[in-house]
Amino acid sequence: MRRRSPSFPATARTPLAVLGVAATLLVAGCSSGSGQGGSSATGGTPQQGGSVTFALPPNATPNWIFPLGTPGHLAGYNSAIRQNVFLPLYAYNGSSGTVAMDEKAGAAKAPVYSNGGKTVTITLKDGLTWANGQKVTTRDVEFWFNLAKANKAQWGNYSKGDLPDNVAKFTTVNDTTFKLDLTKAYNPEWFTANQLTYVTPMPQSAWDVEDASGKVGDYDRTTDGAKKVFKYLIGEAGKLSEYASNPLWKVADGPFTVKEFTTTGQVTLAKNAKYTGDDAAHLDAVTFKPFTSAQAEFNVLRSGGVDYGYLPALAVSQQKTIENSGYQVKPWNGWAITYIPYNFNNPEMGAVFKQLYIRQAVQMSIDQATISRVIWHDQAAPGYGPVPQQPVSKYLSQDQKNNPYPYDVNKAKALLTSHGWTIAGNIASCTKPGTGADQCGAGIKAGTQLKFSLLTESGSTETDNTMQELQSSLSKIGIALSIKSEPLNSVLDHSPECKPNQSTCSWQLSFFGTQGSWYFPAYPSGEQIFATDGGTNLGSYSDPTADKLVKESTSSSDPQAMQQYSSYLAKQLPVIWMPNPAYQVSAIRNNLRGVVQDPLAFMQPQRWYLAK
């Protein structure tokens, strides 16, 4: 599925890493480790300056700095790092305790919506300047829009109908204020959180050039010119080894500038001495250090080589050792949901999956609490619906919060037997076909057996164990689950959205595993995953009520819309809800303070500081 920003979670994912960590545990045993006897994580005097090393997840190599990412360059820590150099118009993060707009981390004041949600007026912050001394103005925002519009096919975040298509007109009011006329009314929260966050003012006075001559003009104002400028900037962005030296990227307006950006992925951000906003960095430098495996990172962490690292999933039992070495160990929870889509178009089982009572029975057979506690060592949390269960937000309905289908195998079994299924030899067979209340349901023939096949990601012990647990509990209600493990890319390839007559439609259930949680943007609406025409509605789920609720959540300004959507889908079960693993289990050195583990997987290192 998708990780919104960093594309690889840090926990041990590859078979190699798993083997490695298992071996460490064997060798190290359960020794508590003498460590360096760390200081406490509280108290102390905050100090200015100093540098911090942050461990990047395995093979997450930052490789893009330009605010418009081309396909293939959206992953990694690119946007998390870039946001500290080039401020987005709006930033959302978890610094307030829940996912919300963080005005301090953006370039503009809160937007004002008018005309029934069809017009938005935005004023940039006063006094924000680029490193070349020029003011950040509406021209810099217009520059972004011009480039995005002329080159949308090459912009990796582009989705038809969304930004920039949904902005009919960009009007400059003055140097700091501009107005966007939208093509239709949108839910202001959705538009700000999921669309305007993509907009990043870019230094037109330095970047509006067509070629290496560096002559600045208003080239972006014609489509042809905007294409040339984009081509030039993309070309420069392709020279990874020049990121730290190319004068283009020096024109920053964020609290940091790029000091080092190696081709192997090590990035050092240095405090931007010319930053004029109100969110200046405390630290002098933050180094993002790449690692080849979670095991390699863990070895360095154990010897105190990083200030902010992570524990591979299998090493969570070594928490005490790491704590004794002077770190706090904290899960970093993601703004995500984890699920297994049903393929409603599968010619064999589609009709079965379409029965709500079957989906209810399946959901009630999954002991999410035990899976989270035992298999995930409490580093995953049960999820009951389409909105992230944690942190609690205003989008979460009571129905989803309270789990409408608690674990109850007997009830699940009764649901099947009361609908015309007879369980013999651990397999349920339809003995009462038909559409009556006590019959199997439309499209299910007599003798149909509940035999599901599940495609799952290989290489993760937690995923393997979870699938085994699923197989075992489903067998208790007469559902035989056959599991096939494949590498993640292969799973993705083999479970496309499909029509029943297509050969690609043979998949029934698909789990993208620990790397496959769906990370939402700040506004967790489901137009991509649960709307009939959603781009990643892999199982072809289609429900007119769900479509209506999804539409309302993105286009009406009713604050209840998201809750209604959360409640309806929590009960309708378009997918199997699964425990959502933490983004990573972090180890933060005790004297590093001010860290908020942002559920959106961004970072605000400008607020980190070292305490004495």
Residues near other proteins, by CB under 8 A: 1-2, 14, 16-17, 19-20, 23-24, 26-28, 33, 59, 61, 63-64, 71-73, 75, 153-154, 156, 158-160, 237-238, 240, 262-264, 266, 290-293, 295-297, 299-300, 302-303, 305, 487-489, 492-493, 496, 528, 535-536, 538
Pick the closer one to other proteins by CB: 157 or 431.
157
Distances (CA, A) of 409 to 291, 366, 553, 578: 43, 8, 34, 16
Cβ contacts of 3 within 8 Å, gap of 6 or more: 9, 75, 515, 517, 519, 601
Measured from the CB of residue 121, what is the shortest distance to other proteins in angstroms? 30
- How far apart CA 515 and CA 575 sit, in angstroms, is 17
Pick the closer one to other proteins by CB: 294 or 479.
294
Measured from the CB of residue 76, what is the shortest distance to other proteins in angstroms? 9
Measured from the CB of residue 8, what is the shortest distance to other proteins in angstroms? 10
> According to DSSP H, which parts of 29-187 are helical?
78-82, 138-150
Pick the closer one to other proteins by CB: 127 or 305.
305
Question: What tokens were used for 319?
Answer: 């928490």
Measured from the CB of residue 294, what is the shortest distance to other proteins in angstroms? 9
Pick the closer one to other proteins by CB: 230 or 421.
230
Residue 429 φ/ψ, nearest 5 degrees: -125, 145
Pick the closer one to other proteins by CB: 165 or 408.
165
Measured from the CB of residue 499, what is the shortest distance to other proteins in angstroms? 14
Pick the closer one to other proteins by CB: 75 or 252.
75
- How far apart CA 293 and CA 305 sit, in angstroms, is 15
Pick the closer one to other proteins by CB: 18 or 209.
18
- How far apart CA 195 and CA 189 sit, in angstroms, is 10
* E strands in 73-192: 92-93, 100-101, 112-114, 119-123, 167-172, 177-182
Measured from the CB of residue 494, what is the shortest distance to other proteins in angstroms? 9
Residue type, 309: G
Measured from the CB of residue 305, what is the shortest distance to other proteins in angstroms? 7
Report the relative pairing of strands 580-581 and 308-311 from DSSP bridges.
unpaired
Distances (CA, A) of 218 to 134, 140, 252: 16, 11, 20
Element (H, E) at 309: strand 308-311
- How far apart CA 427 and CA 573 sit, in angstroms, is 23
Pick the closer one to other proteins by CB: 300 or 409.
300
Residues in the chain: 612
Measured from the CB of residue 160, what is the shortest distance to other proteins in angstroms? 6
